[in-house]
Structure 1
Amino acid sequence: MKTIDCRNMACPQPVVTVKRALEESPGESLTVLVDGGAPRENVSRFAANRGLMVAEAPVEGGYSLVLSGNGIFPEVGKTNAPVGEGKSIMLVGSDRLGDGPEELGRLLMKNFMITLLDVTELPDRIFFINTGVLLTTAGSEIVEVLEKLENQGCEVFSCGVCLDFFHCKDKLVAGSVTNMFTIAESMLKARSVIRL
């Protein structure tokens, strides 16, 4: 069984490294050494989403993840879903909407998110990046709205690098942490992408 060491790698490098290793040896089990927190979560989620079993154990300096099973690795740029049937993605890159005064922008973003609760078709996933991640953390005026959106089937994700940059990963209260690889892959496979 091959072992790769992804400790001390910046996002999204652990996921990219694991993806390449799995593609080089399809069907073979792989042991991955990762740091705790976002790298561990991101690699585990990546593997599970591709039909692999993940067994983890703490090791010195992080975690050991054993990935096993056949898995599903579609060709890069390809999707099994017919055109028009992929997920719809919303990318939120700021904690405010528009380019006007900050106070107005924050009010517009809050009102926009509240309005989503009453539209007929929600996005499948909302990704928060840059200052947008501040909307998913403690103290945000829209945390309850995001929780209601999740209860209605909308997945909510915040960029781990962005949360780290603003020193607020421990304050995340809505949705879960993700990485740039997952964001990019989801956008490229999406039926539609809406950027705020």
Structure 2
Amino acid sequence: MILASSSPRRRELLQQIGVRFEVDAADIDETPLAGEAAVAYVERMALEKARTVAARHPDEVVLGSDTSVIFQNAILGKPENDADAVSTLKKLSGATHQVLSAVALVSGKQSRVLSVATQVRFRELSDDEIRRYVATGEPADKAGSYGIQGMGAILVAAIEGSYSSVVGLPLTETAALLNEFEVPVWQAGC
């Protein structure tokens, strides 16, 4: 199997469930289309990533994935800079947002895509906490400007849904898709 992502988090999650894979990251335009709903966006991104890499590996099963943070119907991508990260975290402070993760598998002419929504509630954050967290550098490459699997875990008061989806890959749903495509999970030595 080929993982169409350079995300270290997705690599770790696949290894966690014993999937053997190689990495060949897709380089695509990730700009949302005008008026595109968040679910349609993450599913389109996951499928485009998988199809782009599948064109280079026509005999392999290719997994593409995308994760977005949604707040007040707006997609919050990766921050452009520290000031953008601070602004995003101030919006999320004390509020609930949604994390959408899509996973797509492509093999030959066969493809499947699905998405998982998880509700995440942040505790109230002080301006000083936000500044100190941004100064760690962790928010720089994370949708929504935080990483629940890292130091950002202390920002989160509660989640309703899939923890692994918030990290970047919904494992239960991914394993089910892999089984459909006859890609083994739970392999030793991964």
* TM bracket (short chain): under 0.3
| More RCO (CA 8 Å, sep 6+) | 2
When normalised by structure 1's length, the TM-score is 0.22
